[in-house]
Amino acid sequence: MLRTLASVLLLLTGVITLTAADSDDFVELFNGENLQGWTQRNGTATYRVEGDEIVGKTAEGSPNSFLCTDKQYGDFEMTFDVKLDPGLNSGVQIRSQTAGDDPMGRVNGPQVEISYDKMAGYVYGEAAGGWMTADADREPTDLFKQGQWNSYRVVANGDRIQTWINGTQVSDLSHPERFASHPKGFIGLQVHGIKQGTGPFEVRWRNLKLRELP
């Protein structure tokens, strides 16, 4: 009954309110021990496991790097915590692909922004047309906290992508064009390329959880 009610609420509002029963639907994307189930695509940044965290570290001269789930996802709700070194830009790819479906091809698709430039939480089309959130809708925020863990929530349902940072909604985006080209794909943890002579920088993720939506 609770799950039926949650489905009705999703259809009416596009937002799911979690209950104790609903929380059981989430699966851990990271097993807490190793990177089994993940594959690095693009770039030479390094990824390692440190306790209950996945840590990405920049490599000078590398293009953007992505640690990607082997499994693909379409409609889902995802939560994660992230902490970012000052000076680094990052993001989490959703419903993403590689060019020509080649494992070495360029990663492309929607990206939920992780950054200190007050644009955190908005949606960018990585190698897929640039900003998906319209210029007029990207209001600067101070929700992303430097040197602290930040909690993200992402709901992707049809052509609608909603994001929250630390409990506050940032974006409510409908993008039929990108949904048509990227209805499903992998989740990818980005380590952005850096300028020569800078870094190294690190980004850390933990509590990566996802549940697929009916």
Decide if 19 is inside a domain: no
Decide if 203 is inside a domain: yes
Q: What is the pLDDT of residue 15?
A: 44
CATH of the domain at 37: 2.60.120.560
Q: What is the pLDDT of residue 173?
A: 97
Domain span at 138: 26-212
d(CA 127, CA 109): 7
Decide if 13 is inside a domain: no
Number of domains in the chain: 1
Q: What is the pLDDT of residue 23?
A: 61
Q: What is the pLDDT of residue 111?
A: 98
> 24 to each of 13, 31, 204, how far by Cα in Å?
22, 16, 25
Q: What is the pLDDT of residue 100?
A: 84
Mean pLDDT, the chain cut into blocks of 10 residues (214 residues total): 39 40 80 96 96 96 96 98 95 95 90 96 97 96 95 98 98 98 98 90 98 96
Q: SS3 for 183?
A: coil
Q: In terms of Cα–Cα distance, which of 46, 4, 38, 40 is closest to 21?
A: 4
Q: What is the pTM of this model?
A: 0.88
Q: What is the pLDDT of residue 195?
A: 87
d(CA 190, CA 127): 13
- What residues contact residue 108 under an 8 Å CB cut-off, 6+ apart? 96, 97, 98, 99, 125, 126, 127, 128, 182
Contact 26, 209 (CB under 8 A): yes
Decide if 8 is inside a domain: no
Decide if 11 is inside a domain: no
Q: 181: which DSSP letter?
A: H
